[in-house]
Every structure is written in C-alpha cells, then in structure tokens.
Amino acid sequence: MAPMIAPSLLNTGVEGLLHPFNVAHSRTQLFSGFECAGIKKYGIDLLVNGKYFSRFGRQNGHFQRLTAASKRLDETTGNSVEKPELDELIAAIVYQAEIEGSLSNAFQRISTEDWSKVLSNVGKKHWELALAVFGVFKETSSIFLKPNTGVQKNEEDREVVQILKVYTTMVAVLARHGRLEEAEAILTEVQQLGFGLDLFLYNALLGGYAKQGMAERMLDCMLEMQKFGIQPDHVSYEQLVAAYLNSKTPELKLALEVLDHMHSHELKASQKTYSELIAACWKKSEVENADKCFSAMIAAGHSADSKVLVKLMQLHAQKGNHTRTQQLFQMLKQAGLKANSTCYEQLLLAYCKAGCLDQAFTIFRESKQIAKPSLIVYNILLDACAKAGLHLQAMQLYNEVCGSGLKANAITYTSAITALVRSGRCAKAEELYKRMLRLKISPTAHTYTSMIHAYAMKGWTRSGHEVCVTMRSNCQITAVAYNAMLHLYIRGEWYTEAANILSEMDSEDIEPGVPGYGVLIAACGDSSPEIMPLVRTLETSRWETCRIVYQLMFLPLYESCESLLEGSIADLPKDVMAFLQKLAQTKDAEANLSFYNSLMDGLWRKGLKRRAKSVMVAARSLLPWYKRPKLTKMKLLLDLGGLSLGAAQVAVLDWLSGVAQLHEEKSEQQMVLVTGSDSSDKLVVKARKGIKKAVGATLAELGSPFAEDPQGSGRLVASVYDVVQWQAVYGISSALMLLDNTQPYITQ
C-alpha cells in the first residue's frame, strides 16, 4: 500500500490527508440526495427506443448487419472484446439501443466478467446506454437474488470480485463522461449493499475528479479512503497530479510537489504523467522544472516521444540554450525518431538567440534538405542578422524570400531594415521602407523605430519627424520608440520637441532607458540658449536621474571657478553621491558606463573639467570594473577602451598629472596608453569614436613625448623618464590640471 502524502503538501492545500478522518466528509453526506436515483432516472424505460427483437440479433438478416456494426465499433473504440458474440451484442446495444431484446438471450451466455467488458465498450460511446445495461445486470445477477448483509467476508470469492469489477467499470464510465453525481451514487449503493469498497473503485472515481480538475474533492476522497484502510497508490497520486493540471487555474507547483512525494515514497509515475507535466512546464516556460521531469522520466525507465523532445527543444531554444537544444536534437535522432522541420526550426532558433550565426546558417542549409524553409525560418534568421548588423546576409535572405514564392511580411522587412540601419546603410533602409509602404505592408512600431534611428544617424531630422507623426497615428508608442524620438530630436537640435517628448514620457510613467539618458546627458554639453526648454524639463522631471543631471550640468557647486583645487568626491553634494551609489547597486555595468560616459562628455564640452574629474573619481570608487591605471614592474598602463571622448580626455590628463610625483625614481618604466572602443552598437549614442585621434591631438598640442607603438596599433607609448622631463622642462603641470574654466549657472 502507498504511504500517505508528503508533509511538504501541508502548506499547499492538501493537508487534510494527514489529519484524522472528519465525519463531515463521509461518503453518506458527500453523496446525500443521490442514493440510487441515478440508476432509476437513467433506466431502461428512458433509454430503449425503436424496435425490439425477441431473439438476439438474428431475425430478418440483422445478423450480418450487426456483425458489420461490431467491426465499426472496434474501429471507433480502438479495441475488441475478443469474443464475436460480445462484439455483436455491443454493436446491437450501441447502434440499435436493443438493450432488453439483445440482453434477453445473453444472460446465460455471458459471464459476470463479460458484463464489465460490455459496459466498458458501450460506455466509450454512450454513458446513458451503459447505465441502462448496468440496471439490467443488477436485475438479473444472481448475487442480487440473494443479497448479502454485512461486509463480504470471503473476499476470494470470484463472483463477488467480478460483481465489484462491474461496479468499478460503471463508475469509470460515468467518471470518464463527467457524470460524477451518478458515479458517487453507485459508490453509496456499494456501501449499502454491504460490499467492501476497494482501491479500484476509488481510483475509478478519482479519475473523474481528475478530469474535471477537482483537486480539493479528490483530497477529501483520498482522506476517506484512508479512513477505510485503503491507501492511495501510484494511480491515485497520478490522478491528483492530473487534477492540479486540469484545474481552471493550473497548479503546476502543487502537481510537481505530488510528483516529488511519489519519488520520495518510491511510487513510479507513468510516461503519460511525466509527459503531461512537461507539457504544463512548456506552457508556463519553466525550463528548469521541465528538465527535472524529463530526467526523472528517463531515470524511471521511460522513453521520450517526439512530442516531449520537441517541447523541451522549444523551451531551451527560446532561452538561447543552444547546447542543450542540440543535445535534445541528437537524442531524438538516436531514438530513431524523425527530425522534422519543426525540430530544425527550434535548433535554428536556439543558435540565433545565442548569437551563434555560423551554426545557425549550417542548420539552415541542412534543413533545406528536409523541407522548403518557411517564412518563419527566414524571419528567425533575419532577426538574428538584424541584431548583429549583418546587412549582407540579411539582404541575401530577403532576396531568397522574394524569389521563393513566399510573401514577405512586416517582420521580414523590419528585420532587413534594422540590419541595414545598424550597419549604417540608411539610404538602402529607406528604400526598403518605401517599398514596404508601396506594397501596403503595415509597418510595426519596431519598423518605425529603426527608421527614426536611421534618420537620426544621417541628421535627417525632418524626415524622421514625419515618421514619428505617422507612428503616432498607427501604433501605440513604446518605451523604445520614445527613446528613438529623443535621439532624433536631440541629434537634430530640435530641443523644444525633445522637451515635449520627455514631458510626455513623464506623464506616461516611462523612464528613459540607457540610450535615452545617453542622448539627454550628451545634449547638456550644448551651451546655446536653444537648449533651455530641455533644461527646464530636466529640472522638473519626475525621474531622479534627470534632476541629478540638471544639478551637475547647470548648477554651481563651488564658490569660485578659479579655484586651483582639482576635483574629488568631496566636491559632489550628498544627494548626488547617494544617487551614484544607488546607481552602482541597482543598475548593470552597461547602464553605469553609459551614464558616466555621457556625463563626462557633457561636462568636458562645457569646460567643467574639475567637475568631470570628481565624477570620474566617484566612478572608480563605486565601480570595481571601471577603467583605471594599472601598474606592473615595467609598465604603467591606462586602457581607454569603452570610454567616451570626454571620459578618455579626463582620464589621460589625470594620469599624466600624477606621473612626476609617483614615478620619479622609476624612469626605466614605460607608459602605455591603449586607445580604442569596445562597442559596435551604432544605435546607442556613446560617443566612443575617434578617441585615438582626439587624445593624440591633445598630447601633440602639449608637445608630449608619446608616439605610436611600433609593435601594435592603437597604443601610444613613452618612457616615464621622458614624460617627467617633458613636464619639468616645459612647465606644463598647470596645463594638465583639471579645472573649471566656466560657470555652469543658467540665467533664470
């Protein structure tokens, strides 16, 4: 016998199974009002219609017709009872409703065991007919001519066992058709007749509850089973799993807890149960739980069918888990299952999501040997090419779609346009966009956003503005679209429109993202009066980041800009430092780097060098990964990779100003300046281009000894001795100091 349910279920609604039986849940009360009314209501008088025959199916040529009908029944139900006379009897009942006439001559020719087979097969088509047959069985069975009083003592008596089997079959038929009240009435009748209830009867009823998703009713029933000394077995618990999955709001967590209980008590679940759980995990996109169920399924000795493997592939493909998706793909092939186009599609998706485009194109070529690629397959590859900025591959795929007879849709065009924009082919992107409009293919918000970025990159603000107007009338504006419009208007110096967009974002509770803040902060380096509408919007914005930027860029922090003190953390107000600390703790590296880069760009452009250094020192203090000088035995290195123009200039001057004091005795060391950028994303304004040129120009203007490293491009080198001598001879220490040469204050 199976043990009771695991204690882990105590807090999830199934605690009743561990508590003593509650009389309020007794079968008598549970079934009160039904008694045997269901049998009477659905008896022979109600169901038998049409012509009766005095002999069993042999008058007027009906034997041949019923034999053919029995074959149809086998095809419908999927099995045969392996007795021709039973096949004919079942066919007569199912197709002719010949209950009384058909059964009149069958009483002595079929056994009690045969009654179960008749009920089961008739019940697969009509539960009402099965219930009527059950009524006839009770009227004619010898056991009812001599009713038993009290609990059956001789449980090995075959006739009694078969009688209970007939009852169990009838309960199963009713439960399968959702006739739970009638099924419950039969269990009450079994009790009233004095037959002992058994596990099979209860499991038949539990199956009906499971199909209806009635988990709580099942728990009451399982509690009652234990009261009668009947412990739920693996079938009982599997049906409880099904009940949780079939409820109006599927309870996957509880279903998995029941499975864990089965595992802990060595109750083996069937392949069907594992498959249903994996399907439920698939619906909720729970990859980890699906993998656990699959592993348990294999450990239990079951084999996975193609449906299970494909669902697992889909789960992992959506997450970009290409290694696991490939393993499942190979598992499917090794099991002798056919890898269809869906399998290849999921493997392709996994590689595309992971950015492994070489493998994706390999799978794409293999899949062409299986079937002609669908538009979905092309769009998956096009989207991956768009994200990677691979415009040549994207256009090749686009041309294949057009030449294959497939009809390119909005996704096809949008992906191709985005790939072109990311690679700077804005004119070609505009050409595709206009073709899309001519073909009356409605652009998506993503299409409009890509075109707005394209026009922003080219400085074609008016064309971009026209797209913005069209987008507003056709689409709901997304956060990405708002950021794109900020990019467009700020790059075009349409500051009033940019201020309106920022105000609208405030009212819509949409915070500028990393790109949005990047362009906003960079714009603050503009000292022209035209920027004032945007400045005022920053000042009153609901977003703290905007207000901090306003404070740093436009309000005085020091008593005099002529101060000879260089910047430090102490210069920054407490609320600014508190914000920077929160930024470091709550945002990722990309968001932090973009903020500091944009801020130092703006400060450098405004001549607020001391303030820029204060911000740099704060970044180095709060962010362990932020670029800073590195000292080795023979080298003093500063890597500018990833920094913006302003941030790089501040870092270089600060680095040089400290050399004389720190390295007078280490003249044999080399100073190495690494220039360059670690970003290829042209849609996000980070102003990292031209660092080598800008820094090189500054050093040349100061007459520094730095020169191109002959051993590697992108490096400027000089000895510490030469740098110290350069500073001493030319007296340029003051030129290296990071001081504010202007006041940031904006006249009210």
* Contact between 232 and 3 (Cβ < 8 Å): no
Q: What contacts 24+ positions apart, CB below 8 Å, involve 238-241?
A: 238/262, 238/269, 238/270, 238/272, 238/273, 239/203, 239/206, 239/207, 239/209, 239/210, 240/206, 240/210, 240/215, 241/269, 241/273, 241/276, 241/277
**Residues with Cβ < 8 Å from 730, sequence gap 6 or more?**
702, 703
Q: Is the pLDDT of residue 546 over 60?
A: yes
Q: For 406-445, b where at least 16 C-beta lie within 10 A, e where not — what string?
A: bebbebbbbbbbbbbbbbebbebbbebbeebeeeebebbb
Token pair, residue 715, equals 């490096």
Reported as a pLDDT band with limits 50, 70 and 90, residue 31 is: very low
Token pair, residue 431, equals 């050409």
Reported as a pLDDT band with limits 50, 70 and 90, residue 88 is: confident
Q: Which helix (H) or strand (E) holds 524?
A: none
pLDDT score of 661: 62
Reported as a pLDDT band with limits 50, 70 and 90, residue 572 is: confident
Q: Which 8-state DSSP code applies to residue 608?
A: B
**Residues with Cβ < 8 Å from 460, sequence gap 6 or more?**
none
Mean pLDDT along residues 174-186: 91
pLDDT digits (tens, 9 = 90+) for 344-355: 999 999 999 999
Q: Are strands 707-708 and 715-719 parallel, antiparallel or unpaired?
A: antiparallel
**pTM of full prediction above 0.75:** no
Neighbours of 45 (CB within 10 A): 10
* Contact between 460 and 451 (Cβ < 8 Å): no
3-class state of residue 635 by DSSP: strand
Reported as a pLDDT band with limits 50, 70 and 90, residue 691 is: confident
Token pair, residue 390, equals 């691979």
The sign of the CA dihedral 301, 302, 306, 309 is negative
Mean pLDDT along residues 254-273: 94
3-class state of residue 475 by DSSP: coil
* Contact between 608 and 592 (Cβ < 8 Å): no
* Contact between 218 and 206 (Cβ < 8 Å): yes
pLDDT digits (tens, 9 = 90+) for 214-261: 999 999 999 999 998 999 999 999 999 999 999 999 999 999 999 999
For the chain, list the domains and their CATH numbers: 1-30+197-265 (no CATH), 31-195 (no CATH), 627-736 (3.30.1370.110)
Mean pLDDT along residues 556-583: 71
Helices 234-246 and 252-264 cross at an angle (nearest 10°) of 170
Q: Are strands 635-639 and 670-674 parallel, antiparallel or unpaired?
A: parallel
| CA separation for the pair 302, 578 (Å, rounded) | 58
Reported as a pLDDT band with limits 50, 70 and 90, residue 138 is: confident
